[in-house]
A and B are shown apart, each in its own frame.
Chain A
Amino acid sequence: SYELTQPPSVSVSPGQMASMSCSGDKLGDKYCCWYQKKPGQAPVLVIYQDTKRPSGIPERFSGSNSGNTATLTISGTQAMDEADYYCQAWDSSTGVFGGGTRLTVL
Chain B
Amino acid sequence: EVQLVESGGGLVKPGGSLRLSCGASRFTFSTYTMAWVRQAPGKGLECVSSIISSSNYIYYADSVKGRFTLSRDNAKNSVYLQMNSLRAEDTALYYCARELRVGPLTTGAFDLWGQGTMVTVSS
Chain A interface residues (CB < 8 Å from chain B): 1, 31, 33, 35, 37, 42-45, 48-49, 54, 86, 88-90, 93-100
B44 touches A100 (CB 8 A): yes
Closest 7 CB pairs of A and B: A95-B47, A48-B109, A33-B109, A42-B113, A97-B45, A100-B44, A99-B44
User: A86 vs B37: C-alpha distance in the bound complex, in angstroms?
Assistant: 13
Q: Which residues of B contact A86 (CB under 8 A)?
A: 44-45
For the complex formed, measure the closest distance between the CB of A43 and the CB atoms of chain B, giving whole angstroms.
6
**A31, A43, A49, A94: which contacts B45 (Cβ < 8 A)?**
A43
Chain A residues contacting B45 (CB-CB under 8 Å) are 35, 37, 43, 86, 88, 97, 100
> How far, in angstroms, from A45 to B100 measured CA to CA in the complex?
10
Residue B1 is within 8 A (CB to CB) of chain A in the complex? no
Number of B interface residues, CB 8 Å? 23
- Tell me the B residues contacting A by CB distance below 8 Å: 35, 37, 44-47, 50, 57, 59, 61-62, 95, 97, 100, 107-111, 113-116
When the two chains form their complex, are residues B110 and A45 in contact, meaning their CB atoms are under 8 A apart?
yes
Given A1-B62, A42-B116, A95-B50, does the pair A48, B107 have CB atoms closer than 8 Å? yes
B57 to nearest A CB, angstroms? 8
| A6: nearest chain-B partner, CB-CB | B44
Minimum CB distance partner of B61 in chain A: A94
Query: With the chains together, A88 CA to B35 CA distance in Å?
Result: 14
- CB neighbours (8 Å) of A31 from chain B are 107-109
Contact B61 A42 (CB under 8 A): no
A47 to B45, CA, bound (A): 16
| Further 11 A-B residue pairs, CB within 8 A, beyond A42-B113, A43-B45 | A31-B107, A33-B108, A42-B95, A43-B113, A54-B100, A54-B111, A88-B45, A88-B108, A88-B109, A93-B57, A97-B46
Q: Compute how far the CA of A88 lies from the CA of B57 in the bound complex, rounded to whole angstroms.
A: 20
